Structure 1
Amino acid sequence: MLIVEFFEKKVSILRLTRFEETRLISARALQLSLGAPPLAKPEKEMSMFELAKEELKQKVLPLAVIREYPDGSIKKIEAY
C-alpha cells in the first residue's frame, strides 16, 4: 500500500535540457548585443555569450521555456 502511494505522488524536478540552455543563452546574448542592460555584474571583460552564460548560472535570466508534451499538457520552466 505504501509503495503504491509513493508512485502516485511522483514528483519530478523540471530541468532544462542542453538544447534549451543553448537556446536561452543565444537569445539572451542577442538581447545583450542589441543594447539590453546586463543583469549579472561582469567581473571582467566578457563577451555577450559569456555574460549570458553567467546570467543563466546566477539564475537571473528573465526567460522561460514552454514544453509541450504528447498528451497535450504544457509546462513552463523559468530559467531562474
Structure 2
Amino acid sequence: MSAKQVNVADKTMSYTRYERARIVGARALQISMGAPVLIKDVKSVEPIEVALAELERGLIPITVKRTNKSYRREAESSESSG
C-alpha cells in the first residue's frame, strides 16, 4: 500500500505509518458508531477495511498537523486543493 501524497504549499508530503494508523483507527471508530460511509461500493462490512478504502480514495476530510525540523507547523490535508 502506498502512502497518500498531498500537495500543500508546493510540497509533496505523504502520511507516516503512524498518521495512517491514527486516521484509519479514528475513522473506523466513527463508522462502527454509526457514521455514514463515504464510499458507495463497499466490498466489506469491517469498519477498518472501509476506512482504509476511504483513505486510499482520499475521501476522509482530515488535516494532519506536524512540526518540521525548524519547528514550524505544517498542515497536510487529505482533500485535493485543486
TM-score range, shorter chain: 0.7 to 0.9
Flag as ranges the 4+ runs of structure 1 deviating above 2 A. 42-46, 69-72
Aligned counterparts of 1:69 and 1:45: Cα–Cα separation in 2 = 37
Offset of residue 46 of structure 1: 2.5
Which structure has the highest helix share of the two?
1
TM-score with structure 2 setting the length: 0.74
TM-score with structure 1 setting the length: 0.76
The structure whose RCO (Cα within 8 Å, separation 6+) is larger is 2
> Unaligned 5+ residue runs, structure 2?
1-9
Q: How many pairs does the alignment contain?
A: 70
Aligned counterparts of 1:52 and 1:45: Cα–Cα separation in 2 = 10
> Unaligned 5+ residue runs, structure 1?
1-10
Supply the RMSD in Å over aligned alpha carbons: 1.5
Which structure has the highest strand share of the two?
2
Higher CA-based Rg: 1
The change in CA–CA distance for 1:48 and 1:42 in structure 2 (over 3 A counts) is farther
Aligned counterparts of 1:14 and 1:44: Cα–Cα separation in 2 = 29
